[in-house]
Structure 1
Amino acid sequence: MRSLIYLATALCVMGLAFWAYRVNYDTQDKRDELRALDREIASLNEGLGVLHAEWAYLNRPDRLRELVNLNFTDLELLPLQADQFATVSEIPYPNPVEMADPDAPQEPDVLAQNGQAAKNGQAPKEGL
């Protein structure tokens, strides 16, 4: 009986040694992968820094102004004017009733029609 206990104990020790061996090498592999990922992240961050510097260099106002002047006849770029932006009344906000019940019958959107009419050069329609 004693020999059976010794044999079981020896097998348990060998099994635990094998498990510890595998865990040790798996940990080392994961550590190597982590180091490789850290190197890749550092390389990508360095590349990102270079791209930010290049973007800043290419977007210098004096350089852009010179490009606009050189390509004015082709691009016809002009400064923005205040009348190029839409007004708040031209924004088609959803009707709160439609939001509550999407299956309810819908009335025509007067604001959207007025905005479309204004874009087409027509006089806006008055309320329904």
Structure 2
Amino acid sequence: MRSLFYLCAALAVMALAFWAYRENYATQQALKDVSKLNREISALREAIRMQRAEWAYLNRPERLSELAAVNFDRLGLLPLQSEQFARPENLPMPPVDLPDVTDAVDVMAATAEEEAQP
């Protein structure tokens, strides 16, 4: 009986050692994957920063105005002037659809004294 117990205990220790060995390597692989993903995220963030800087560089007002002047014959772009904008009161507004009122309803606001009385 005692030898059976020792054999089961030895098998349990071996199984736990094998499990711990596999978990150790799985954890190391997961840490490598996380490190790789963090490097990839960092590289992508750097690429986004670079693209934003390029976008800002390409959209400089002096560069765009120079391009508009160079390509005036083809594009026909003119500088904006204040006369080109409409005033808010001149803009067409959609009609407001109000529901039909069929029954008159009396609305009365209660004063603070009326609310205090039981």
Scaled by the length of structure 2, the TM-score of the pair is 0.69
Deviations 1:44-73 (A, max 9, x none): 111111111111110110000001111122
Name which of structure 1's ranges 36-45 and 74-83 shifts more when overlaid on structure 2.
74-83
**Which residue identity is paired with 1:76?**
G
Distance 2:63 2:32 in 1: 46
Q: What is the aligned-residue identity percentage?
A: 50
User: What is the match of residue 41 of structure 2?
Assistant: 41
1:70 lines up with 2:70 in the alignment: yes
2:105 corresponds to which residue?
none
Q: Distance in 1 between matches of 2:17 and 2:92?
A: 74
Listed one character per residue, the Cα deviations across residues 68-114 of structure 1 (whole Å, up to 9, x for unaligned) are 1111221122327214x993615x88x798xxxxxxxxxxxxxxxxx
Distance 1:58 1:39 in 2: 28
- Please tell me the residue identity of whatever aligns with 1:82: F
Distance in 2, Cα, partners of 1:96 & 1:23: 69
Q: Which residue of 1 aligns with 2:91?
A: 87
What is the root-mean-square deviation of aligned Cα atoms in Å? Answer: 2.6
AA matched with 2:53: A
Distance 2:67 2:33 in 1: 47
Find the residue that maps to 2:93 and give its secondary structure: helix
Q: How does 1:1-128 map to 2 (within 5 A)?
A: 1-78=1-78, 79=80, 81-83=84-86, 87=91, 89-90=93-94
Alignment gaps of 5+ in structure 2: 100-118
In the alignment of these two chains, the number of paired residues is 95
- The 1:40/1:73 distance shift into structure 2, 3 A limit, reads same
Structure 1: state its 5+ residue gaps: 98-128
